Amino acid sequence: MKVEEIKVCILRIEGTNCEQEAYDAFKVLGADPEKVHLKQLIGRAPRELRRDLDEYQVLMLPGGFSAGDYVRAGAIFAARMKSHLAADLENFIASGRPVLGICNGFQILVELGVLPSFDEIMSEAPQAALYTNVSGRFECRPSYLKHENHGKCVFTSLLPRGEIVTIPVAHAEGNLRFPSESEREFLMRLEENDQVVFRYVDPNGDYAGYPWCPSGAIGNIAGICNPEGNVLGMMPHPERAMFRYQHPDWTRTGGKPDAPGDGHIIFRSVLDHVSKRF
């Protein structure tokens, strides 16, 4: 299908943010994004506003503090989706259509049991947690990410492996954790399944602790995909780095301010994938 025919559902409830940036990211690349409230997908809206998840080719869960991050970050949004949208979401993922969760979106996908999802599309209980940063603080700054995926993830297909991109983080709960008794096993399975997409590194590209890894996440992991590669969750915000002028060094490095920023390639990759596959 043509890129302009690709419909992107940017799903929001109260407390999500960056949906406008997400919208703009897809729009500037020529796709057809729409900001959709969860109520529109579950029939709790006037008839003309109702939407069906099946109408879209890409689902994006933006960042923010959905439902005030009450209970745990992303837990309430996940519970609402699970209660009304579980079957639709499973079908969406099973059909190979891409799902992107950024920041709070990643937390929601983890709480939903959609990531890391080793054995099924959506596990009954979460298999991981995005827990409070080791620093105990909200960490908000650019971060260096090394692309580690061998080609499975549809969101980074155009990004060479080993490349380092600069994408900002802004979160207090990004510390990826697995059950302590299965930490090793889960890390191995992630590697074996090619599910690791981004790891935090220092400016030389080496794995490093705080502050380079803002959260203390296990294995410096910043983003993972599902075993099929069509669901990506990442803590950093690529939609906030669509243009060079959004990079902290853009006045020093020259070039056009509105040239593509480092987050651009994520959106380009997924649209490229969808246009070829569907």
- Cα–Cα nearest to 169, from 121, 219, 110, 216: 216
Tell whether residue 119 is a contact of another protein (CB under 8 A).
Answer: no
- Site size for another protein, by CB under 8 A? 21
Confirm or reject binding of residue 75 to another protein (CB under 8 A): yes
The yes-or-no answer on residue 225 being catalytic is: no
One of 125, 160, 253, 254 touching another protein (CB under 8 A) = 125
Q: Write out the binding residues for another protein, residues 129-188 only, by CB under 8 A.
A: 129, 131-136, 177-180
Which C-beta is closer to another protein: that of 28 or that of 79? Answer: 79
Segment contacting another protein (CB under 8 A): 67-75, 142-150, 156-164, 251-259? Answer: 67-75
Annotation says 239 is catalytic: yes
**Neighbour order of strands in the sheet with 7-12:** 32-37, 7-12, 58-61, 99-102, 231-234, 221-225, 196-201, 139-147, 164-171
Tell me, yes or no, if 237 is annotated catalytic: yes
Rounded to 10 deg, the angle between the 75-94 and 104-112 helix axes is: 70
**85 vs 134, beta carbon nearer another protein:** 134
- Give yes or no for a cis peptide into 116 (omega within 30° of 0): yes
Number of alpha carbons in the 13 Å side-chain half-sphere of residue 253: 11
Which one from 21, 139, 173, 239 is the annotated catalytic residue? 239
- Backbone angle region of 205, left / alpha / beta, with phi > 0 → left and psi within -120 to 50 → alpha: left
Closer residue to another protein in complex, CB, 214/229 = 214
126/168 with CB nearer another protein: 126
Minimum CB–partner distance for residue 129 and another protein (Å): 4
- Residues that bind another protein in the complex, under the rule CB under 8 A: 71-72, 75-76, 79, 111, 125-129, 131-136, 177-180
Known catalytic residues are 103, 237, 239
